[in-house]
Chains A and B, each alone.
Chain A
Amino acid sequence: MTLGTRRSDISHFQCQMLQSIIKNIWIPMKPYYTQVYQEIWIGMGLMGFIVYKIRAADKRSKALKASAPAPGHH
């Protein structure tokens, strides 16, 4: 097999990517993510909850429409 296609090669690249992400993003931004942006995580949780509620309601209404189609549609 050529280089870069074996499972061990791919996991090696993924490790390198993870190390690069930790070194370039996580370490400089750690004080922000852990202390400054605590309330923003709460806000993102609220937004995720709203998104979940909207998608669940949409799924429920589509399931309802599919199970009971209205008679006499033109």
Chain B
Amino acid sequence: MECVVWLPAKMLHACRKARTLPAAVLVILFPPLLIPTSKHFINNRLIIIQQWLIRLILKQTMATHNTKGQTWSLMLTSLIIFIASTNLLGLLPYSFTPTAQLSMNLAMAIPLWASTVAMGLRFKAKTTLTHLLPQGTPTPLIPMLIIIETISLFIQPLALAVRLTANITAGHLLMHLIGSSALAMLAINLPLTLITLAILTLLTILETAIALIQAYVFTLLVSLYLHDNS
């Protein structure tokens, strides 16, 4: 079943072809609305708390980078805030989580990983290529190890995407199954239902932590790849 949103005819007067927009586009564009921007020096409490959080994230992620790496501050901060907010919103009942889709995570991981590799090859090609051979490798093992390191390099974007997808999808699936079983057992066995609901509560707390941790891990790994190549 395709979920679409009908746009007002006036907005699409110039474009006569498509009159629908996938609802997923609106869901992906929704989290930035929760983070208001302000041109004032002194803001309201919500914006002050959010700006404090963003400054904390910025300091933690960008402290170890050189000047070239720090030009990516905007990208990495936006990345972690987007993934964290999307994951947390996905914990609400009946919501859609874009980061549970492999296509979405591959679309984030491949450009970021490829750009770090391209940056490394462009600005320090020799150092990037020497990363394919760990120091102190015995001579007979060199060809095999280069192949292994190349494979591990190409697996990085897949690992980034699949890690996030699997964690979020598995968590949601588990919550869905345990919630359904609790509902089914409500009329049959009340004590077991209460135990299941307690497990569900603990699982929800765990999923909240996983939502934040996975956002941090994704951004940290991209930051690590950037650090190796900048």
Chain A interface residues toward B at CB < 8 A: 4-5, 7, 10-11, 14, 32, 36-37, 39-40, 42-44, 46-47, 50
Chain B interface residues toward A at CB < 8 A: 10, 13-14, 71-72, 74-75, 106-107, 110-116, 118-119, 122
Contact of B114 with A10 in the complex, beta carbons under 8 Å: no
Contact of A46 with B114 in the complex, beta carbons under 8 Å: yes
Contact of A10 with B14 in the complex, beta carbons under 8 Å: yes
Contact of A10 among B13, B116, B119 (CB under 8 A): B13
Contact of B122 among A37, A39, A44 (CB under 8 A): A39
Contact of B111 among A7, A14, A32, A46 (CB under 8 A): A46
Contact of A7 with B13 in the complex, beta carbons under 8 Å: yes
CB distance from A27 to the nearest CB of B (A): 15
User: Given A32-B74, A39-B122: A44 and B14 within 8 A (CB)?
Assistant: no
Give the CA-CA distance A44 to B114 in the complex, in Å.
8
Closest to A31 in B: B71
Q: Is the interface of B mostly helix, strand, loop or mixed?
A: helix
CB distance from A8 to the nearest CB of B (A): 11
By a CB distance below 8 angstroms, the chain A residues around B74 are: 32
Give the CA-CA distance A64 to B74 in the complex, in Å.
46
By a CB distance below 8 angstroms, the chain B residues around A40 are: 75, 111-112, 115
Contact of B113 among A11, A14, A36, A43 (CB under 8 A): A43
Closest to B9 in A: A5
* A4, A42, A50 interface centre (most CB from chain B within 10 Å): A42
Between A and B, 21 residue pairs with Cβ closer than 8 Å are A4-B10, A5-B10, A10-B10, A10-B13, A10-B14, A11-B14, A37-B115, A39-B114, A39-B119, A39-B122, A40-B111, A42-B118, A43-B111, A43-B112, A43-B115, A43-B118, A44-B111, A46-B111, A46-B114, A47-B107, A47-B111
By a CB distance below 8 angstroms, the chain A residues around B111 are: 40, 43-44, 46-47
